Amino acid sequence: MSSSVKHRALLCAGMVIAAGTFAYAAEPGPGYYGYGQRATPEQIAGWDIDARGEDGVGLPEGRGGVIRGSEVYAEQCAACHGTFGEGEGRFPKLVGGAGSLRHDRPELTVGSYWPFAPTLWDYINRAMPMAAPHTLSADDVYALTAYILNLNDIVPSEFVADRESLPKVKMPNRDNFLWTDPRPDTAAKPCMNACVDPASVKIVSTAEGKNLTPRTTGPLDTMLAK
C-alpha cells in the first residue's frame, strides 16, 4: 500500500468515526434525509481552503520569497519535478513549454499554460508534496509559488509572494483563455436556488420494483450469508 493510499484509508476511517460520533446531532428540517449531520463551522473551515485564481480570494496570511522556495523545493519537490522543474522521469515538468501550445505535442506547464498565479498556490497547498499533502506551512507554499514562478521567468528573484502580490502576477498564457461562453443557449444566468417548482415535476419511472437493488433491512451478516 503506497503511503498516499494509506493516508486516504486513515482519513476515511476518521470520517466514519466522526460521522458515528455526531450522527445524533442531525436535525430534521428541509433537505433532511434521515442521515448525516450538520457540518460545524470548524469542519467547513477545514475543507474551505480554496484560493480563487482570478483574484486570489481565499489566499491566507503569510509570505515567502524565491530563496526560501528554492530550499523547500530541493527538499520536498525536486526528486519528482527535477532540480529546475524539468521533471524527473514521467513526473510533470513545472517549467518550460513556452510557445509550444500550438504544436503537435504541446507542453502544458505552469509557465506555458496556467492562467492564474494564485492557482499555483492553491494546487501546491491542497495536493503537494504528493505523498504528504497539507503538511506545508502557508509561508512555505508562498515561497514555493514564488520559486516556481521565478524558474519560469515570470517574476524576478526578489519577488515575495503573498495574498496581495500573487493576484497581480500576469501569467503568460492568461489572455488565451476565453472567459465568456459564446454559445447563445448558455447566456442565461445559472439558477442556484429554487429553480424548479416541485409541483411541476412528474416522476415517470423509478428503480423501485425493478429488482435492481436487493432490499434487506437485516444486518450486513445476514445479507452476506445469503
- Residues found near ligand HEC in the complex (CB under 6 A): 76-77, 79-81, 91-92, 94, 109-110, 120, 123-124, 128-131, 144
Cell triple for residue 140?
A: 512555505
> Residue 121 or 214: which CB sits closer to ligand HEC?
121
> Residue 12 or 131: which CB sits closer to ligand HEC?
131
- As measured in angstroms, the least distance from the Cβ of 199 to ligand HEC is 44
CB-CB contact of 106 with 93 (8 Å): no
- As measured in angstroms, the least distance from the Cβ of 96 to ligand HEC is 11
> Residue 22 or 123: which CB sits closer to ligand HEC?
123
CA distance 101 to 159: 27
Buried b (16+ CB within 10 A) or exposed e, 18-50: eeeeeeeeeeeeeeeeeeebeeeeeeeeeeeee
Closest Cα partner for 15 from 36, 45, 41? 36
* Torsion angle (degrees, nearest 10) of CA 26, 27, 28, 31: -80
CB-CB contact of 62 with 142 (8 Å): yes
- As measured in angstroms, the least distance from the Cβ of 179 to ligand HEC is 20
- As measured in angstroms, the least distance from the Cβ of 14 to ligand HEC is 23
Question: Residues for the chain: how many in total?
Answer: 226
> Residue 37 or 100: which CB sits closer to ligand HEC?
100
- As measured in angstroms, the least distance from the Cβ of 130 to ligand HEC is 4
Residue nearest to ligand HEC (CB): 77
> Residue 59 or 124: which CB sits closer to ligand HEC?
124
